[in-house]
Structure 1
Amino acid sequence: MIWILGYLLAIAIGISLGLLGGGGSVLALPVLVYVMGVAPKPAIAMTLIIVGTVSLVGVIPHARRGNLALKQGAIFGSATMLGAYLGARIATLPLVTSALQMTLFALSMLLAAGLMIYRTSRAEPALSTTDELNSIQYIKPVCKYCWLWLMTEGLGVGILTGLVGVGGGFAIVPALVLLGNVPMKKAIGTSLLIIACNSLAGILGYLGHISLDWNLIVSFTFLAGCGTLIGSYLAQFVSAQQLQKGFGYFLLVVAAFVLAQNRHSFESPQESSAYLQPHNRVQRRQ
């Protein structure tokens, strides 16, 4: 029954991706860890594969419409791929515990949720999905050497991707718009391409350090892809702006749950050792 629930949630993640155009993949890690029972470190690597595959599929319609900014994507993507590889290598170090990774993941969820709620609150009411997309405004680039800032932020986003498995779309899209002067539609398509490349770099950093359940990866990715198609169809009947705001509040709840589950990471080693031991046993069995 638990696995059935996990697969249903995989479909739900895909639906959220189809409805919102991003963000839903951030739920893959909590589902794998707390529903499917996968240890955090392997789950993060599995999340990279799932997120990368779904993002790559999502690039196809954007490429057909010409919504890819390849120059800015190459500048930003090269930095994020390097960061993702470094983040994955850092994650394999003994001092980086699973609890620390899950805590950082929860904090990144809080940031993503806050940005999502803030942007939708600032957006003007619109009549169509296209208008809603265009209503999400950012200030125009003001820096003289924006490409340097673009690469610097790219490195940071990449490290976060490799370390905790998040795609980073909530930071990539604003960076492309603010620093790369990329229109919103092209920024979204380019973001998906960058996320797919980041995921590949992160996976390379984890290779040889963890074991992966490929049956679960394939089935989870397939169901999430099916959910994406469902969500894409439903998107024409619902308000994307209101959905994003509601999803942002939902992310706050999930982030609070993950922080509560890993509250021992803020305690002293003596207080948290009793909790860490069973987690280590689970990871050794896998």
Structure 2
Amino acid sequence: MTALILALVAGAVIGLALGGLGGGGSVLAVPALIYLLGFTTAEATTASLVIVTLTSVTALAGHARDGNVVWRTGLLFAAAGIVPAMLAGAAAGHLPQAVLTVAFSVIAALAALRMLRPARTGPESGARVNPGKAGAAGAGLGAVTGFLGVGGGFLAVPALVGVLKLPMRRAVGTSLLVITINSLAALGARAGTGMHLDWAVVAPFTAAAMLGAWDGKRLSKKLKGGTLQRVFAYVLLAVSVSMLLDTLF
């Protein structure tokens, strides 16, 4: 019963962040699964991909309904990350737990610091996009998703704004399309590893995250400025530092 309650609470928090921010919430799924629910790092990163995929689809539906998803741009961006996501996902299963945990901690800390920086506002009419930069950004995002089991929205949103010149609202919506595709590719690479997941925990965790994603989208319209983002960033920074210290010492 305790595990079920923890799974529901953690899932709801992660869904709120993912729905409200268009990314970043999934970064907390891995430490929640490890420290609250007793998963190994490898199990947590794989379970996180399941949670991220289904939650992103839920959040994506809401943003698509509001016209905030640029489908062609998102599909092209995601296409560059499919192969890296699959390769990184396959490689992650052969690395020591400590390496995965340290890598995750560093990426999570960078994500938190990125969220604390002032948000850039993309132009309403896109400037000329550099295909090389767009491809590199998409490939890098795919690799992070596959390797660490996170959606990578904290990287996708600034890349869609800065590289592909999308306005912020559309970047948030489009990032969810990219996250969904990359997560599916990474899951495909891990499907044949024979890893057992505790679905009695993963299923309610995912369900709570999906419901939270809808509320997160509504919450983002009510909170002033980047309040939700800043609060989440501080929590994420604290978690990443704790994970790093626990692994190294």
TM norm. shorter chain > 0.5: yes
Counterpart of 1:196 in structure 2 is 180
Counterpart of 2:224 in structure 1 is 239
Decide whether aligned partners of structure 1 residues 241 and 203 sit closer, same or farther in structure 2, where only a CA change above 3 A counts: same
8 Å CA contact 1:139, 1:178 repeated in 2: no
Instruction: Work out which of the residue numbers 239, 242, 245 in structure 2 matches 1:254.
Output: 239
What is the 5 A alignment of 1:6-17?
A: 6-17=7-18
Distance 2:144 2:202 in 1: 21
Whether 2:141 is the aligned partner of 1:147: answer no
> What is the Cα deviation at residue 119 of structure 1?
2.2
Distance 1:107 1:23 in 2: 14
Q: Which consecutive residues of structure 1, in runs of 5 or more, have no partner in the other structure? A: 121-135, 265-286
Counterpart of 1:33 in structure 2 is 34
Counterpart of 1:68 in structure 2 is 69
Q: Does the residue aligned with 2:226 lie in a helix, a strand or coil?
A: helix
Distance 1:145 1:60 in 2: 26
Counterpart of 2:99 in structure 1 is 100
8 Å CA contact 2:15, 2:212 repeated in 1: yes
What is the 5 A alignment of 1:174-193?
A: 174-193=158-177
Q: Does the residue aligned with 1:262 lie in a helix, a strand or coil?
A: helix
179-188 or 50-59: which moved more?
A: 179-188
Decide whether aligned partners of structure 1 residues 21 and 195 sit closer, same or farther in structure 2, where only a CA change above 3 A counts: closer
8 Å CA contact 2:18, 2:216 repeated in 1: yes
Counterpart of 1:283 in structure 2 is none
Counterpart of 1:171 in structure 2 is 155
Whether 2:116 is the aligned partner of 1:117: answer yes
Distance 2:38 2:176 in 1: 28
Q: Does the residue aligned with 1:212 lie in a helix, a strand or coil?
A: coil
**Structure label with greater radius of gyration:** 1
Under a length normalisation based on structure 1, what TM-score does the superposition of the two structures give? Answer: 0.79
Decide whether aligned partners of structure 1 residues 231 and 61 sit closer, same or farther in structure 2, where only a CA change above 3 A counts: closer
Decide whether aligned partners of structure 1 residues 74 and 230 sit closer, same or farther in structure 2, where only a CA change above 3 A counts: closer
8 Å CA contact 1:62, 1:189 repeated in 2: yes
1:28-82 residue CA offsets vs partner (Å, 9 max, x unmatched): 1111111111111121111011011101111112222222222221221011121
Under a length normalisation based on structure 2, what TM-score does the superposition of the two structures give? Answer: 0.90
> What is the Cα deviation at residue 138 of structure 1?
5.4
Q: Does the residue aligned with 2:197 lie in a helix, a strand or coil?
A: coil
Q: CA RMSD in A?
A: 2.4
Distance 2:165 2:122 in 1: 10
Distance 1:66 1:113 in 2: 28
Percentage identity across paired residues of the two chains: 36
Counterpart of 1:161 in structure 2 is 145
Decide whether aligned partners of structure 1 residues 233 and 68 sit closer, same or farther in structure 2, where only a CA change above 3 A counts: closer
Distance 2:46 2:18 in 1: 20
> What is the Cα deviation at residue 188 of structure 1?
1.2
8 Å CA contact 1:75, 1:147 repeated in 2: no
1:152-172 residue CA offsets vs partner (Å, 9 max, x unmatched): 121111111111111111111
Distance 1:233 1:174 in 2: 22
Q: Does the residue aligned with 1:208 lie in a helix, a strand or coil?
A: helix
What is the 5 A alignment of 1:129-140?
A: 136-137=120-121
> What is the Cα deviation at residue 145 of structure 1?
6.6
Q: Which consecutive residues of structure 2, in runs of 5 or more, have no partner in the other structure? A: none
Q: Does the residue aligned with 1:28 lie in a helix, a strand or coil?
A: helix
Distance 1:196 1:168 in 2: 10
8 Å CA contact 1:146, 1:179 repeated in 2: yes
8 Å CA contact 1:13, 1:24 repeated in 2: yes
User: One-letter code of the match for 1:198?
Assistant: N
Counterpart of 1:57 in structure 2 is 58
Counterpart of 1:227 in structure 2 is 212
Distance 2:68 2:12 in 1: 26
Counterpart of 1:212 in structure 2 is 197
Q: Does the residue aligned with 1:239 lie in a helix, a strand or coil?
A: coil
Q: Does the residue aligned with 2:117 lie in a helix, a strand or coil?
A: helix
Q: Does the residue aligned with 1:22 lie in a helix, a strand or coil?
A: coil
1:101-129 residue CA offsets vs partner (Å, 9 max, x unmatched): 11111111111111110125xxxxxxxxx
* Equivalenced residues, count: 247
> What is the Cα deviation at residue 98 of structure 1?
1.2
